[in-house]
Chains A and B, each alone.
Chain A
């Protein structure tokens, strides 16, 4: 249903438990392209959606490695090669004295990589999203838990999916315009 006028069908639930149960039933019914929207991180929800993404920790580890190397290189290059300067007879490449700055660079690079990779992979900043088209969605950041089965799902048929979701015990079911 690629040319559907709708982004998907959204159902609103009152508790996280109801949402998790709904996700499970939707998956059992064969739906795969869906997302849940909650005011706070709900434990176990991403497992239920069969969503796993381990790239943030990996990027952060790589960021840490790059940070450590660049911190060390910066000090060695500037203080031992480009501008060698004798300080109290200490060696030009003073490993012990290099540790603090190397450490700080490790942390800085890793932290910034983590934050930016999280924001970019989440597709943010994104001021407009189809989900904002339904008025009740304002409560997704407050006290309601939403499940949206998206139109790109192969099993998506507006009427069938709406009926299916109405049977999930949702507070309301709405079609989300594109």
Chain B
């Protein structure tokens, strides 16, 4: 048994670190240069914000899934936990705090390049924006961002070092402690995230509010984080260490988790839409109105098929969940559709984006931050074994089923 294991190839995700870093830095430098040039500055910053929303959101999604794993302790979660730890760890969060600097700069620039509330002239004529000054002002936004990121980085670091420590010490007390920190962290992440996402993204649509927004946002990014993790596990299912835990039961669990999030995300999206559509109040309905004009509606409508019916029909079929190859396809599908959905959520908020034609700057910013994301991910994933040493439940389950 052990001989065949040694013969198998071992997965090395850390390899891509330097390549990705070089690509990311080069593209990022180009992006920053375009932000400085008068003509392209506005478009570049808008694209950058969207890319930050998607890749940053993926980081938050990984972080929230880590917290969820430590709260539920499900056996299936150990197969993907290290991916989430690397993607949503302290270093990844820190990187996205640094990458927030250009966005912060627009807040302090006194112009409405990204946020209308950053322009004092607009705020003066708008009582609602004045009312929101404690939160929606350059200083308020900067302070909130710093506090929120500080707390997340501290918590992510605490949990990650605990799992790494337990890998060597095998001390079960670490797990007990994480079981306390997981749910507490989840509560505080959701509360602080609600405020932060309101400032970063929701406030792009000046007067719009929706209480569903933060849960919708968090679940959407958790969905992306789950699909990325499932993709990695299934793509490399023949390589060690994943080959040693791969079983129809594991893929079934991962597939069912994907199915749950598919339905739950659609449920949140649809509920929010139906309530706003039915209420038909100008200040709320304008959100969907801007996203239904000038061709944007086709993206919105296609999401019903691409983000709900396609994954649903694929995932209710038990054969999809039996083979890693099939599940990998669904995971890739969901990840790509999440990118399009995030494009549709962020960019129509800008009055100059009347049509969903992707600009060169969109591609540039997306690739720049994506490369950085994977570089950080690679640097973190190689620091610990891909499967936690202390939790052998998956291996044991497989051993039992063979015996």
Contact = CB atoms under 8 A, between A and B. Distances in A.
B7 interface: no
B22 to A, nearest CB: 48
Interface in A100-157: none
B105 interface: no
Contacts of A88: 280
**Chain B interface mostly:** helix
Nearest to B304: A95
B278 interface: yes
Contacts of B270: 96, 99
Contacts of A96: 270, 273-274, 277-278
B280 A97 contact: no
Nearest to B275: A96
Contacts of B277: 96
A44 to B, nearest CB: 12
A96 B279 CA distance: 12
Nearest to A61: B316
A88 B285 CA distance: 15
Interface string B245-281: 0000000000000000000000000100110011010
A97 B270 CA distance: 11
Nearest to B274: A96
A176 to B, nearest CB: 37
B399 to A, nearest CB: 19
Interface in A20-36: none
A118 B274 CA distance: 36
Most buried by B among A88, A96, A97, A99: A96
A88 B278 CA distance: 10
Interface residues of A, number: 4
Interface string A61-103: 0000000000000000000000000001000000011010000
A99 B304 CA distance: 12
Nearest to A100: B274
Contacts of B274: 96-97, 99
Contacts of A99: 270, 274
Nearest to B270: A99
A65 B112 CA distance: 50
Contacts of B278: 96-97
A99 B273 CA distance: 12
A102 to B, nearest CB: 12
A102 B274 CA distance: 14
A88 B277 CA distance: 12
B307 to A, nearest CB: 15
B314 to A, nearest CB: 14
B265 to A, nearest CB: 15
Nearest to A89: B280
Interface in B272-322: 273-274, 277-278, 280
Contacts of B280: 88
A99 B267 CA distance: 11
Interface string B46-74: 00000000000000000000000000000
A68 to B, nearest CB: 12
Nearest to B277: A96
A56 to B, nearest CB: 14
A99 B270 CA distance: 9
Nearest to B318: A57
A96 B273 CA distance: 8
Nearest to B276: A96
B129 to A, nearest CB: 30
A99 B309 CA distance: 14
A88 B270 CA distance: 21
A96 B300 CA distance: 13
Nearest to A88: B280
B351 to A, nearest CB: 26
B401 to A, nearest CB: 12
Contacts of A97: 274, 278
B366 to A, nearest CB: 31
A145 to B, nearest CB: 24
A96 B278 CA distance: 9
A99 B269 CA distance: 13
A96 B266 CA distance: 13
Nearest to B273: A96
Nearest to A57: B318
A96 B277 CA distance: 8
A47 to B, nearest CB: 15
A99 B274 CA distance: 9
Interface of A: 88, 96-97, 99
Q: Which A-B residue pairs are the 6 nearest by beta carbons?
A: A96-B274, A96-B277, A96-B273, A99-B270, A88-B280, A97-B278
10 contacts: A88-B280, A96-B270, A96-B273, A96-B274, A96-B277, A96-B278, A97-B274, A97-B278, A99-B270, A99-B274
Given A88-B280, A96-B274, 5 more contacts: A96-B273, A96-B277, A96-B278, A97-B274, A99-B274
